[in-house]
Structures are given as C-alpha cells and as structure tokens.
Amino acid sequence: MAHALLPCPTLRRPQDIDFADFTLPTLSDSLLEAGQEAQFGRGWSLIRGVPVWRYSRQQQLAAYWILGLHWGRAVPQNASGHLIGHIKDIGHDPKNPLTRLYATNAAQPWHNDGPADLVSLLCLSDAEEGGDSGWSSSISVHNEILRRAPHLAALLAGPWFFDRKTEVPEGKKPFFEIPVFNYHKGYLSVNYSDNYYHLSQRHAEVPKLTAEHHEAMRLFNELASGPELSLRMVLRAGDVQLLSNHTCLHYRGAFRDSPAHTRHLLRLWLSPPNDRPLPECYAEIMAGSVVPGKRGGIIIQGATPNIPEEAE
C-alpha cells in the first residue's frame, strides 16, 4: 500500500485512480477474497491494520479508494455526489427527522443502507466513549420471523413505503415502495430501515402503518439485536468492515467525542459486477437499474461525483 500511494494523485475526480493504475501483489488476493466472503459467504468481512495514522487525509482517501476498487464500483451516497462519505458528528440535530444520522452522535438502529450492494467503512479514529458497531444476519431474522410469525413474514414480503428524505431524483416522488423481504431467482434480499418507514407517513399518498406493521417492526428489531443473531464490536483506527447490504443489517451505538478522541470513519457504497440478481422493484432504490455493476447510488441532477476531504 505504501508503494501504491507514492504517486498519489488528487482525488477530486474519481476517475483519477483506476484499478489498473496500482498493483498490490501481496494484498490483492486477500482483498478479493474478502469481497467474495461478503457477497457469497457469511455476508461480512473485517480487515485490520490499515496504517491510517501514517497517512495524510489525501493518502487515507486514496488508500481506501484503492481497497474499494477490489470490491466494485463506488456509487454516490448523497445529493452532493460524494463517492467516499465521512461518518462523523458535525452537529446536525438527530431529532430532526430529515437529518442523516451518520452526521450526528446519535444511535442508528438496525438497518440496511439502501442504494448499494456492498457497504464498507474504514475507521480513521474512534470516539472517547461508545460508538460500537453491530452486524446482524437479515437472512436469519427472516427465517426466525417465518418460524415464529408467518403472517408477519408475509406482511414484510408485501408493500412497504420508504421515504427519500431530501434526496429526490428528478421526476420521482419523495417516497417509493419496496418490500422488506424480496425473493428473486433463488435469492432472498432484505431491505429494512424502520426510520424511513415512519418518515414516509408524512406523505398523504402513503397508506398508514397498521398495528400489524408495528408488530412486525418490533419483532424484526428484537431479533436483529439479539445475541443469537448479532455481534457487536468497536471499530478501531485501521479497521475496515465490508458488508453485504442484502444479507446483513448494521447498527451504530450512540457515542461521545472529546478533543483527543473524535469518531471519524470513511464509507464506500459499492456495486460489484458479479452481484446477485435483484427484482425490478429495486430500481427505485438503485438509481433506476438492477443490472449488477451498473446499479446503486443516489443520483441527483446537477450533482457531480466527487470525494470531499472532510465531512460536510
């Protein structure tokens, strides 16, 4: 990695670095294996020891970009076109329902990230207190709901309405419809975020959540957070997590920063060319396409893909 970073170009434009520009002869095979494990194995991989403390911010971004190139095409994460996101408390109000919780220090309940096949985080520094990360198998959650409450499993396989917050593509409504449980060509893909279901209720066109919907969400959250189906850890500087967005849920605990310890992570949303087939309803959340390698991201007219050096 150190040799790959020597000619480190500016990352203001994502096309500045391509997979062919850098070789990691002692690392690439392990990175590709981590991607395969996340996509087709247990659903997640953890890599430790990226020496981020040795790098400038520009080098940290370049190193992470190079890692991500092994796993897929990076897609925009917000209306500003950010291809690498900054997960950091920048003082946004978590009580505002339109706030993106990754820009606060509040807890983020169990969820998928939406417009990506793979989700990755690189920890630059951890908090003074709290900020634990959790992973849970959404496939196991599905199986347990099917065993305990098949009527709720059927409900979760039906229509659920998902709010777009402030990131509405041209010509689209500020909400869309997608099931939580999606069965397609032999695959089960799960898309879940109860915050967005609740927020969709602000739109008159969206049907009201029923008592049964709330029961389904309560059971889903209870199972996802249980010790049988989840694990939790604190990401330390140099840790990289890679998750399948279709088979793994993730969680972030509330945290407290200090001048000496500020939690700061980088995030990639990735679209691998060989990922699973998805049903057509995913086009609403995957920027209009379900074609592997060409789907995903938040695409807003006028937003140029870019990589900011700091949280915005």
**pLDDT value for 114:** 81
**pLDDT value for 219:** 99
* Residue 289: exposure state from Cβ atoms within 10 A (0-12, 13-18, ≥19): middle
Question: Got the DSSP string for 142-195?
Answer: HHHHHHH-HHHHHHHTS--EEE-TT---TT--SEEE--SEEEETTEEEE--BHH
**pLDDT value for 3:** 60
C-alpha 117/C-alpha 292 separation (Å) is 9
C-alpha 94/C-alpha 105 separation (Å) is 8
**pLDDT value for 2:** 60
Question: Got the DSSP string for 5-19?
Answer: HTT----SSGGGS-G
Please check whether residue 7 is in contact with residue 66, taking contact to mean a CB–CB distance below 8 angstroms. no
Show the beta-strand stretches assigned E in the chain.
44-47, 73-74, 85-88, 108-111, 118-125, 129-130, 133-137, 161-163, 175-177, 181-184, 187-190, 230-233, 240-244, 248-252, 255-256, 264-271
Between the CA of residue 25 and those of 3, 14, 61, what are the distances in Å?
Answer: 11, 23, 20
**pLDDT value for 12:** 47
What domains sit in the chain, N to C, each tagged with a CATH number?
2-284 (3.60.130.10)
C-alpha 177/C-alpha 158 separation (Å) is 9
**Residue stretches of the chain with pLDDT short of 70:** 1-15
The model's pLDDT over 252-268, given as tens digits with 9 standing for 90+, comes to: 999 999 999 999 999 99
